[in-house]
């Protein structure tokens, strides 16, 4: 008995192996070699040589800076932050990413948003939006630290911006007391009293979402707050419930870092209203959700107009004045301002 392939079958097996190497193995090896060469020549893991020459143009409009990059420019932010002085903002660049994540980390210049869009001709537009921009900046490239620097010749406006929002208005009366007291009127009166008290303090700019009896959509109120670069947003309301015995102040907010400030506003109202109860809660209300106020956005419910005592108290100018004073003082504390408007350490 013989073992192995017959002598006549060996050429057939060799031919099959030759055909496999020629048709399958050799193209595969060529493809892998080409891919390896491309990676070695391209080196996407290394930092691209980005220079100021990649910037095609700059544009400035109100509080927005537009940096127009030339085509085929690869940019991605590693982080952003204030530079050596409060008048310098820098964007650190890092390769191998094709996206710009938007962060809300606040800096000395209070950068609000950053967007990257592709325009005609494959030009990249990096749009930087600041809350307060009072000067035309200069954009330079730092090759040592590999970052773009936005430098302002003058200091930005250092005034703190407080946006006061009287709830409801116009056709939307809000809660209505048993004796006909309208929440929209109470809200506007308290807000105007807060405005008067805050304007007496230096270093604070007070803006109202409405000055008279008109209705402003909720999203519009939030957008106005962002447009004005609010450092603090307060929406003042009265409340209502089917249980007429309920009567207490409440504060709604978003973000755990604002919990202490929410509690501060609640304590301020509890100090002037005859109520030992009250609470703070996180809620995604329209005026709070997407609001970029640095020191927080809060919705304050003073008292319940559905409660006879609450309606009677909110109808008294003395109670409205007391509430306005307490809220104004809590606002100053939250903004870390003393009476002269000097920021405390």
Whether residue 118 is found in the same domain as residue 177: no
- pLDDT tops 90 at residue 98: no
What is the model's pLDDT at position 304? 96
Question: Rounded distance, CA 94 to CA 245, Å?
Answer: 60
* For range 315-325, the mean pLDDT: 97
Under 8 Å CB-to-CB from 242, ≥6 apart: which residues?
A: 306
| pLDDT on residue 333 | 94
Name which of 117-121, 131-135, 199-203 the model is least confident about: 131-135
Quick check: 320 pLDDT over 70? Answer: yes
Domain membership flag for residue 195: yes
Question: 285 in a domain, yes or no?
Answer: yes
Whether the pLDDT of residue 44 is over 60: the answer is no
Q: How far apart are CA 209 and CA 153, in angstroms?
A: 32
The verdict on 229 and 325 lying in the same domain is yes
Tokens matching residue 188: 């506007």
Please indicate, yes or no, whether residues 128 and 175 belong to a single structural domain of this protein: no
pLDDT of 217 over the 70 cut: yes
Q: What is the pLDDT of residue 284?
A: 93
Domain count, the chain: 2
Alpha carbons 135 and 276: distance in angstroms, whole number: 49
Q: Are residues 166 and 147 in the same domain?
A: no
Are residue 166 and residue 132 in the same domain, yes or no?
Answer: no
Mean pLDDT along residues 16-42: 76
Whether residue 106 sits in one domain with residue 62: yes
Contact 252, 299 (CB under 8 A): yes
Residue 92 covered by a domain = yes
Encoded tokens for 81: 């932050």
231 lies in the same domain as 309: yes
* 89 lies in the same domain as 180: no
Q: Which of 134, 151, 168 is the last residue of a domain?
A: 151
Of 59 and 298, more confident = 298
Q: How confident is the model over 88-105, as a mean pLDDT? A: 40
> Using an 8 Å Cβ cutoff, are 226 and 211 in contact?
no
Instruction: Give the confidence band of 291 by pLDDT, cuts at 50, 70, 90.
Output: confident
Token pair in block for residue 297: 């956005």
User: Is residue 162 within 8 Å of 331, Cβ to Cβ?
Assistant: yes
CA–CA gap between residue 115 and residue 101 (Å, rounded): 8
Instruction: Write down the pLDDT at residue 48.
Output: 42
Domain boundary among 92, 123, 151: 151
* pLDDT for res 30: 82
pLDDT at 33 (0 to 100)? 86
In angstroms, the Cα distances linking 239 to 23, 167, 172, 176, 278 are 80, 11, 14, 9, 12
For residue 236, what are the domain limits?
160-334
Residue 251 forms part of a structural domain: yes
**Residue 286 forms part of a structural domain:** yes
The distance from CA 31 to its chain's CA centroid, rounded to whole angstroms, is: 47
Is the Cβ–Cβ distance between 218 and 166 less than 8 Å? no
Neighbours of 232 (CB within 10 A): 23
Tell me the average pLDDT across 196-205.
Answer: 89
Q: How many residues belong to the chain?
A: 345
| Assigned domain for 17 exists | no
CATH at 271: 3.40.630.40
Do 173 and 133 have their domain in common? no
- 315 and 223 in a single domain? The answer is yes
Q: Are 56 and 69 in contact (CB under 8 A)?
A: yes
* pTM check: above 0.85: no
Whether residue 274 is found in the same domain as residue 318: yes
Q: Is residue 27 part of a domain?
A: no
Last residue of a domain, one of 110, 126, 151: 151
Please indicate, yes or no, if residue 32 is contained in any of the structural domains: no
Question: For the residues 306-311, what does the mean pLDDT come to?
Answer: 96
Mean residue pLDDT across the chain: 75
For position 323, what pLDDT does the model report? 98
CB atoms within 10 A of CB 139: 17
Mapped onto helix, strand or coil, the DSSP state of residue 79 is: strand
141: left (phi over 0), alpha (psi -120 to 50) or beta: beta
Phi first, then psi: what are they for 183, rounded to 5°? Answer: -60, -40
Query: Do 329 and 191 fall into the same domain?
Result: yes
pLDDT of residue 247 exceeding 70, the answer is yes
Residue 54, pLDDT score: 59
pLDDT on residue 41: 64
């Amino acid at each position: 008995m013989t073992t192995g392939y017959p002598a006549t079958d060996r050429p057939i097996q060799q031919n099959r192996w030759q055909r496999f190497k020629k048709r399958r193995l050799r193209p595969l090896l060529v493809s892998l070699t080409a891919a390896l060469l491309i990676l070695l020549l391209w080196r996407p893991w290394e930092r691209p040589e980005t220079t100021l020459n990649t910037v095609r143009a700059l544009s400035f409009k109100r509080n927005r800076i537009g940096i127009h990059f030339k085509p085929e420019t690869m940019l991605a932010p590693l982080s952003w932050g204030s530079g050596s002085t409060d008048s310098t903002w820098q964007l650190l660049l890092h390769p191998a990413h094709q996206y710009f994540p938007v962060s809300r980390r606040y800096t000395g210049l209070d950068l609000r948003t950053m967007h990257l869009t592709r325009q005609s001709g494959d030009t990249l537009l990096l749009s930087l939006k600041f809350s307060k921009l009072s000067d035309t900046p200069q954009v330079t490239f730092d090759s040592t630290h590999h970052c773009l620097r936005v430098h302002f010749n003058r200091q930005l406006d250092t005034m703190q911006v407080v946006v006061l929002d009287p709830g409801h208005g116009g056709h939307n009366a809000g809660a209505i007391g048993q004796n006909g007291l309208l929440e929209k009127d109470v809200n506007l009166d308290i807000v105007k009293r807060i405005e008067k008290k805050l304007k007496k303090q230096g270093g604070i700019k007070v803006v109202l979402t409405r000055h008279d009896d008109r209705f402003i959509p909720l999203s519009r109120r939030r957008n106005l707050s962002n447009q004005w670069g609010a450092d603090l947003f307060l929406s003042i309301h009265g409340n209502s419930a089917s249980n007429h015995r309920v009567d207490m102040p409440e504060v709604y907010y978003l973000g755990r870092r604002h919990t202490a400030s929410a509690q501060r506003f609640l304590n301020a109202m509890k100090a002037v209203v005859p109520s030992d109860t009250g609470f703070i809660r996180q809620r995604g209300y329209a005026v709070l959700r997407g609001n970029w106020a640095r020191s927080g956005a809060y919705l304050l419910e003073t008292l319940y107009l559905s409660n006879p005592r609450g309606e009677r108290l909110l109808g008294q100018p003395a109670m409205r004045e007391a509430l306005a004073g307490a809220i104004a003082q809590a606002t100053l504390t939250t903004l870390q301002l003393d009476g002269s408007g000097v920021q405390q350490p």
